[in-house]
């Protein structure tokens, strides 16, 4: 508790690769929730002890596949009602998950706990540069209120330049 500033949390956590449960990496972080202005995102500082797995091969495969599509990608309900995600849509799902992480961070307070519940709709947007652009309509589940919150996010991605989210 930092008086007049906010609440600071010191965390020790283990990052686990969603695609490979045995691949883990330790991490320490400090999170500061601001007292004054609740509308700004909490400050986050972190240190990763070790290296994250190299994903160049999978990234490039996905990138090339999307770039070579004749028509812009469009999809709905990922996962579907039964929890299924088709193999072709798995990277779209993972991208949404990463991007929603940013949205969640920007909107978190000490009294919220958000998860990505579902991608309702995703539409690829044609670009003249090398980035891939996707327009997502997602549903976020907020645990404390139990509300399902629709959210629109535009996501840019490039294998070498990473993810960018514009809300």
Partner 1 sequence: LSSLPHQLDFWHHPTSPGHPADLRVPFPSLQAVKIFLESNSISYSIMIEDVQELLDEEKKTMMRSRRTERSTDTFDFASYHTIDEIYDWMDMLVDDHPSLVSKIQIGQSFENRPLYVLKFSTGGSNRPAIWLDTGIHSREWITQATGIWTANKIAKEYGQDPSITTILDSMDIFFEIITNPDGFAFTHSSNRMWRKTRSINAGSNCVGVDPNRNWDAGFGGAGSSSNPCSETYRGPYAHSESEVKAIVDFISSHGNVKSVISIHSYSQMLLFPYGYKRAPAPDHQELNEVAKKAVNSLAAVYGTKYTYGSIVDTIYMADGTTIDWAYDNGVKYSFTFELRDTGRYGFLLPSNQIIP
What is the per-residue binding string for partner 1 in 31-50, x denoting contact by CB under 8 A? --------------------
Comparison of 31 and 140: residue with beta carbon closer to partner 1: 140
Q: Is 115 in the site for partner 1 (CB under 8 A)?
A: yes
Please tell me whether the peptide bond between 79 and the residue prior to it is cis, using omega within 30 degrees of 0: yes
Residue 148 contacts residue 141 (beta carbons within 8 Å)? yes
Residue 47 contacts residue 28 (beta carbons within 8 Å)? yes
Q: For residues 7-26, which are near partner 1 according to CB under 8 A?
A: 18
Q: For residues 126-145, which are near partner 1 according to CB under 8 A?
A: 139, 141, 143-145
Q: Is 117 in the site for partner 1 (CB under 8 A)?
A: yes
Comparison of 10 and 82: residue with beta carbon closer to partner 1: 82
Structure tokens at 35: 């007292």
Q: Is 87 in the site for partner 1 (CB under 8 A)?
A: no
Comparison of 94 and 153: residue with beta carbon closer to partner 1: 94
- Count Cβ atoms within 10 A of the Cβ of residue 99 and give its class: 0-12 exposed, 13-18 middle, 19 or more buried: buried
Angle at alpha carbon of residue 110, lines to 108 and 115, rounded to 5° = 45
CA–CA gap between residue 71 and residue 97 (Å, rounded): 24
Q: Is 121 in the site for partner 1 (CB under 8 A)?
A: no
Residue 71 contacts residue 104 (beta carbons within 8 Å)? no
Structure tokens at 8: 């600071």
Distance in Å, CB of 21 to partner 1, minimum:
10
Distance in Å, CB of 13 to partner 1, minimum:
14
Binding site for partner 1 (CB under 8 A): 18, 79-85, 115, 117-118, 139, 141, 143-148
């Amino acid at each position: 508790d930092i008086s007049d500033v906010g609440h600071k949390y010191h965390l020790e956590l283990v990052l686990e690769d969603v695609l490979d449960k045995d691949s883990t990496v330790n991490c320490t972080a400090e999170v500061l929730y601001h007292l004054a202005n609740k509308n700004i995102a909490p400050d986050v500082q972190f240190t990763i002890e070790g290296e994250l797995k190299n994903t160049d091969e999978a990234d490039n495969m996905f990138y090339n596949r999307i770039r070579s599509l004749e028509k812009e990608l469009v999809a709905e309900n990922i996962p579907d009602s039964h929890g299924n995600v088709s193999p072709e849509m798995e990277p779209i799902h993972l991208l949404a998950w990463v991007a929603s992480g940013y949205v969640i961070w920007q909107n978190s307070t000490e009294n919220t706990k958000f998860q990505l519940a579902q991608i309702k709709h995703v539409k690829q947007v044609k670009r003249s540069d090398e980035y891939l652009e996707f327009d997502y309509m997602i549903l976020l589940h907020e645990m404390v209120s139990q509300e399902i919150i629709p959210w629109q996010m535009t996501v840019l991605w490039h294998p070498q330049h990473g993810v960018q989210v514009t809300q």
